[in-house]
Structure 1
Amino acid sequence: MQIIDSVDAIQRADFAAGSCIAIGKFDGLHLGHQAILERMRTTAEESGARSVAFTFANHPLSFLRPDACPRPLMSREQRIEAIAGLGLDACVMVEFNADFASIPAEDFVVDVLVGKLNAKHIIMGADFRFGHRGAGDGELLRALGAKHGFVAEVLDWVEDDEEGQVSSSRIREALLAGDVEAAGRMTGRPVAVRGEVVHGDARGRELGFPTANLGGHVEGLVPADGVYAGWAVLDGVSHPAAISVGNNPTFTPNEVSRVEAFILDFADDLYGQTMEVRFAHHLRGMVRFDSLDALIVQMDADVVETRALLGC
């Protein structure tokens, strides 16, 4: 997949055959986003045009209203990888800054999407707004399509059978409440975070449960403190794991929350490696135990439940 990181870097010659473009923030790449991108991809294939996702490296509110900007569900790299996994030809991921924010809605469509990307078909979600002060909407896009010779398509919300309307904000709420199952239903995959495995305090090893600890910059939105069943992905291989998010209320109640994975039936040295942690099920909240024996009994129970839920 071709990755373009600025409007100036777009070469019209790359899109001589025309393009079918999906525009949006695509934070979390949930089922609604996937529906938009899949519709765009199949339309591009049918017409012989290139399939293009147009999105932002940062959330627009990080520039417009930093105090109101939500925490991102995925890092830039995670989004690019997820978009590439859908089989698209190109992704334009630009920085939302003062220059971009100042582009009038009509100029964005006519000069950028049509002028540079040679758009023949443009698709967006019903709730998406574009252009200076968010002046652009589905109605304007359709009017510009009729005027400039492209098809404008606006897709409605996608609904989950259990969760109802799917949105990035609802996924964020679910994760911050520890409901990784609901978040996973809305994204169509287990939610994941990623980072480097670093040295911890070795307390888990002393208790018979050695953990791989994520440190430094962790990509993705970490769910609420608690214990989870899921997977640790190393070099593309998934391993079942019991996962702890939080401090250790029994030993270090004042520490900053961290992500630790006890990888089942695994004993290799992982320090310095990149590990992705995928959350499948919430087991319990974080609690303080009155004795070391009580903690070990609960950790054993967590592992048993993890095996049962993951079928391993």
Structure 2
Amino acid sequence: MRLVSAVEELQPADFSGGTAVAVGKFDGVHLGHRAIIASLLRTAERDGLQSVVFTFANNPLSFLQPDVCPLPLASRAQRLELLDQAGVDACVMVNFDAEFAAIPAREFVERILVGQLNVRHVLLGDDFRFGHRGLGDAALLRELGPIHGFTVEVVESVGDEEVGAVSSTLIRNAVLAGDLVAAREMLGRCHAVRGEVVHGDARGRELGFPTANLGGAVEGLIPAHGVYAGSVVIDGVERDAAISVGVNLTFEPEGAPRVEAFVLDFSADLYGTQMEVRFAQRIREMLPFSSVDALIARMHEDVAETRTILAELRADTPAV
């Protein structure tokens, strides 16, 4: 997938054969976004066009109203990987700043979509707005389409019959509430965070449950505190894991929250490696224990429950 990081970098010659362009924020690249992308790819293949996603490196609210801007579900790098995996030919991911915010909606269409991307088909969700003060919408696109030779498609339904309506806001609320089953149903995959494995206090190793701890800048929205069944991905290999998010209430109730994973049936030095942590289902909240023995007994239960949850999840997942 080709990446363009600024409007100024767009070269019309690169898109001379015409494009189908999906415009939106694409935070999380959830099932609703995937419906847009699926239609984008179908149209591009049918008409011999390049498939392009036009999106933003940052949430526009981070510039327009930073006091109410929500935390992102996924990092810039995570979103780019998801779009690449979806099969998009190119992604234009620009910074939403003062310069971009000042572009009138009509100019965005005529100068960027038409002039630089040679658009032949535009797709967007039914609630997406663009241009200065958000004055651009599907109605404006339909007005300009016949003039400049492009068609417009608004993807009205977001989600499917089982999940219902899907939005980044609903997924964010689910993740922050610890409802990773609901988040998974709306994302179409397990919610994930990732970062570098760093040294912890080695207490898990002392208890017989050595954990890999994420440190530094963790990518992705960290779920509510609790113990989760899930998995980790290390060097491209996915392994089952029992995951803890939060503070160790038994030993360090005033300590810093952290994400740590006990990787099942695995033993290796992971310090300094990059690890992705995928959350399937919350098992319980974080609890203080009256003794080390009580904590160890509960950890054994957590691992057993993790195995059961993941086995049931695999049994319910159709073979590809």
The bucket for the TM-score relative to the shorter chain is: over 0.9
TM-score w.r.t. structure 1 length?
0.98
Give the Cα–Cα distance (whole angstroms) in 2 for the partners of residues 176 and 162 of structure 1.
22
- In the alignment, residue 256 of structure 1 is paired with which amino acid? A
C-alpha RMSD over aligned residues: 1.0
- In structure 1, the partner of 2:288 is 288
- In structure 2, the partner of 1:62 is 62
- In structure 2, the partner of 1:215 is 215
Does structure 2 retain, via aligned residues, the 8 Å contact 1:19–1:118?
yes
* SS, match of residue 240 in structure 2: strand
* SS, match of residue 303 in structure 2: helix
- In structure 1, the partner of 2:318 is none
- In the alignment, residue 287 of structure 2 is paired with which amino acid? V
1:255 equivalenced with 2:255 (yes/no) = yes
- In the alignment, residue 33 of structure 1 is paired with which amino acid? H
* SS, match of residue 9 in structure 2: coil
**Per-residue deviation, residues 90-129 of structure 1 (Å, max 9, x unmatched):** 0000000000000000100110001000000000000100
User: Is the alpha carbon distance of 1:96 and 1:107 closer, same or farther for their aligned partners in structure 2, counting shifts above 3 Å?
Assistant: same
**Per-residue deviation, residues 223-265 of structure 1 (Å, max 9, x unmatched):** 0000000001001100000000001011111122110000001
Does structure 1 retain, via aligned residues, the 8 Å contact 2:35–2:159?
no
Query: Structure 1 stretches of 5 or more lacking a match?
Result: none
Give the Cα–Cα distance (whole angstroms) in 2 for the partners of residues 157 and 171 of structure 1.
16
Give the Cα–Cα distance (whole angstroms) in 2 for the partners of residues 254 and 137 of structure 1.
49
- In structure 1, the partner of 2:104 is 104
Which shifted more, 22-31 or 287-296?
287-296
- In structure 2, the partner of 1:273 is 273
Q: How many Å apart are 1:42 and its aligned residue?
A: 1.1
Give the Cα–Cα distance (whole angstroms) in 2 for the partners of residues 80 and 237 of structure 1.
20
Does structure 1 retain, via aligned residues, the 8 Å contact 2:242–2:261?
yes
- In structure 1, the partner of 2:46 is 46
- In structure 2, the partner of 1:228 is 228
* SS, match of residue 170 in structure 1: helix
- In structure 2, the partner of 1:72 is 72
- In structure 1, the partner of 2:189 is 189
1:3-152 map, 5 Å: 3-152=3-152
- In structure 2, the partner of 1:304 is 304
* SS, match of residue 116 in structure 2: coil
* SS, match of residue 270 in structure 2: coil
**Per-residue deviation, residues 25-50 of structure 1 (Å, max 9, x unmatched):** 00010100000011011100111110
- In the alignment, residue 265 of structure 1 is paired with which amino acid? D
1:205 equivalenced with 2:205 (yes/no) = yes
* SS, match of residue 8 in structure 1: helix
Query: Structure 2 stretches of 5 or more lacking a match?
Result: 315-320
Give the Cα–Cα distance (whole angstroms) in 1 for the partners of residues 204 and 83 of structure 2.
37
- In the alignment, residue 135 of structure 1 is paired with which amino acid? L
Percent of pairs with identical residues: 61
- In the alignment, residue 95 of structure 2 is paired with which amino acid? E
Give the Cα–Cα distance (whole angstroms) in 2 for the partners of residues 125 and 146 of structure 1.
20
Which shifted more, 152-161 or 256-265?
152-161
Question: How many aligned positions are there?
Answer: 312
